[in-house]
Amino acid sequence: MAFIVKKKISGKEYYYLQKSERVGDKVKSKVVAYLGKDLEEAKLKAEKIKQMEKKEKSPEQEKVKKEIASEPTKITIEELANFCKRKGFIYPSGEIYGGLGGFWDYGHLGSELVNNLKKEWHKFHIQQRNDIVAIDGSIITNPKVWEASGHVASFVDIAVECKKCHHKSKVDKHELDSTKCDKCGGDFENKGEFNPMFTTQVGPIKEDSTLAYLRPETAQLIFANFKLVQENARLQLPFGIAQIGKAFRNEISPREFLFRSREFEQMEIEYFIEPNQSCPYIDEIKDTHILIYDENKQKENKEPELMDIYEAYKSGIIKTDWHAYWIAKEFEWFTRLGANPNNFRIRQHTKDEKSHYAIDTWDLEYNFPMGWRELQGFANRGDFDLKQHQEHSKSSMEITTIEGKKVLPHVVCEPSLGVGRALIVFLLESYHENKEKQTTILRLNPKLSPVKAAVFPIIKKPEYIDMAQDILIDLRSEFNCNYDKSGSIGRRYARNDEIGTPYCITIDEESPKNQDVTIRDRDTTSQIRIKTKDLKDTLRKLINQEIKFEEAGKII
């Protein structure tokens, strides 16, 4: 039951809405809304609240609420690849000629989505911090970089072919005898050592040209430029240098859509510290819980355990504070952009699987449709790389600390993430199919959405079309927008829902007269009416999640 109650405060009268409900054999009352100082005004407000509550409880609203709360629709990686191709996100590269294994082209929506993803990564890791700068190195560099880094000598796998089904794959040297074919369980035949670096010639005449490599990771350009960047950006330890860019690996068996490709992008940070320097930010990560699968648990065939990352560091499961800190921060980046924390776990590399440069490595794994797989790596590279480049280039990589000490910095943690794998995660997390209506909604975080808003004139008369065009020009100075004047309004909403457009703006019968428009929210299908002059500001706040949709305008 709801009542209007009057309260006297400092001699003045105020009206409130009070609700009473029976709990056991007692009746409990609480004030649920302030209604103003005037009784008539209070009655009107109370009535409005009643109407809104009724509407919220309507079967249609309840259904929408249920749908929003539901898990994304489970699809296979092939179904995701098909969806991406159909809608203009990602295509097999050069498909008219049959494509090429492990190479992909981004379509008109995919290129927007991937740019937004990289922008968000850059914002979180560089723009919003004091201690990290970014560089953009070249894809082909002096081949001595790859000799120094150990990639020429040690970045080697064994190529294998199944004796039964002839499936080709690669295995680490130590796995050769123990690994069976993942397709049919047959025995593998050793086809010899294989270096996945792509080679090319630099120079026009083959005999005079230099053999060079397409970079297999972005990390080495950070190490090779380390001294210049540190001096130019006047960086003091601890600090990071980041890079987003292409990497190439001639994978023997590229598969599972973008998951294992031959050309891909990485977003990497090399975080440099003075040897044994502790992490001043460690307290920030307290209360970050994730499934943890350390080396011991794997050896003993036990299940991963849900733990606080900070506690895992304190109890020695995660060896360094920097490792714990960066794992927690990267996990936070994914969940802040809408990923479900239950789909993540961290797994420590066993002794045999570590890369040639790594002291200790953890992977952030994701529960992909094909099972738990590496999403992002966190290697403790120690001083391996700077030492190697110092020796091979004969230039000192030491820097002077504030206290005047000369040190060779260590990289205790290198967060290294593949853009394609991150993209798959956000697409899987947002993909919702409505079987009944045969529609798809891509519930992407608005910051990632390729198109931020779609503008629809409802009536095909110059007055409405001109107004829509003016709004479009204004919004396009800041956001990527769609304009759609064809088909029913329902069709237009559906076309935008399936590509993840968070907001649809309609210019309706009342718009020219009142200079206002409606905005429809993709996830709730609720609509608000707002003045045209406030539209751009409101959209910005909505996309940046600074306001809730219901607070952005008058609900209609």
CB of residue 102 vs ligand GAP: minimum separation in angstroms? 7
Number of residues that bind ligand GAP (CB under 6 A): 19
Of 236, 248, 246, 222, the C-alpha closest to 100 is 248
Applying CB under 6 A, among 376, 449, 501, 532 the residue interacting with ligand GAP is 376
Handedness of CA 346, 352, 358, 360 (dihedral sign): positive
Q: Which residues of 130-149 are buried (b: 16+ CB within 10 A; e: fewer)?
A: eebbbbebebebebebbebb
The DSSP code for 182 is T
Between β-strands 503-507 and 481-483, what pairing exists: parallel, antiparallel or unpaired? unpaired
409 scored as a contact of ligand GAP (CB under 6 A) = no
Applying CB under 6 A, among 238, 245, 418, 446 the residue interacting with ligand GAP is 418
Binding string, 421-440, against ligand GAP, x = CB under 6 A? x-------------------
**Which region, judged by CB under 6 A, interacts with ligand GAP, from 30-38, 77-85, 344-352, 371-379?**
371-379
CB of residue 101 vs ligand GAP: minimum separation in angstroms? 12
Residue 330 or 521: the one with the smaller Cβ distance to ligand GAP is 330
Query: Cα separation of 105 and 88, whole Å?
Result: 10
431 residue type, one letter: Y
268 scored as a contact of ligand GAP (CB under 6 A) = yes
Applying CB under 6 A, among 79, 295, 311, 374 the residue interacting with ligand GAP is 374
Between β-strands 344-348 and 289-293, what pairing exists: parallel, antiparallel or unpaired? parallel
261 scored as a contact of ligand GAP (CB under 6 A) = yes
Phi/psi at 134 (nearest 5 deg)? -120, 150
Residue 173 or 461: the one with the smaller Cβ distance to ligand GAP is 173
User: CB of 185 within 8 A of CB of 350?
Assistant: no
Query: Cα separation of 170 and 161, whole Å?
Result: 8
Binding string, 223-252, against ligand GAP, x = CB under 6 A? --------------------------x-x-
264 scored as a contact of ligand GAP (CB under 6 A) = yes
Tokens 């008539």 correspond to 40
**Which region, judged by CB under 6 A, interacts with ligand GAP, from 49-57, 121-129, 205-213, 374-382?**
374-382
Residue 264 or 431: the one with the smaller Cβ distance to ligand GAP is 264
Query: Cα separation of 353 and 361, whole Å?
Result: 9
Handedness of CA 155, 160, 166, 167 (dihedral sign): negative
Of 287, 326, 322, the C-alpha closest to 308 is 287
Q: Is 180 helix (H, G, I), strand (E, B) or coil?
A: strand
Residue 365 or 516: the one with the smaller Cβ distance to ligand GAP is 365
- Using CB atoms within 10 Å of the CB of residue 229, give its burial: 0 to 12 exposed, 13 to 18 middle, 19+ buried: middle
Applying CB under 6 A, among 92, 110, 238, 377 the residue interacting with ligand GAP is 377
170 scored as a contact of ligand GAP (CB under 6 A) = no
Which tokens is 78 given?
């092939």
Applying CB under 6 A, among 240, 420, 457, 553 the residue interacting with ligand GAP is 420
Residue 188 or 264: the one with the smaller Cβ distance to ligand GAP is 264
219 scored as a contact of ligand GAP (CB under 6 A) = yes
Tokens 């210049």 correspond to 228
User: CB of 419 within 8 A of CB of 264?
Assistant: yes
CB of residue 249 vs ligand GAP: minimum separation in angstroms? 5
506 scored as a contact of ligand GAP (CB under 6 A) = no
Residue 376 or 532: the one with the smaller Cβ distance to ligand GAP is 376
Applying CB under 6 A, among 195, 416, 430, 538 the residue interacting with ligand GAP is 416
Q: Is 395 helix (H, G, I), strand (E, B) or coil?
A: coil
538 scored as a contact of ligand GAP (CB under 6 A) = no
321 scored as a contact of ligand GAP (CB under 6 A) = no
User: CB of 363 within 8 A of CB of 387?
Assistant: no
Q: Residue with CB nearest ligand GAP?
A: 418
Site for ligand GAP in 148-167 (CB under 6 A): none
Query: Cα separation of 424 and 418, whole Å?
Result: 10
The footprint of ligand GAP (CB under 6 A) covers: 217, 219, 249, 251, 260-261, 264, 266, 268, 374-377, 414, 416-418, 420-421
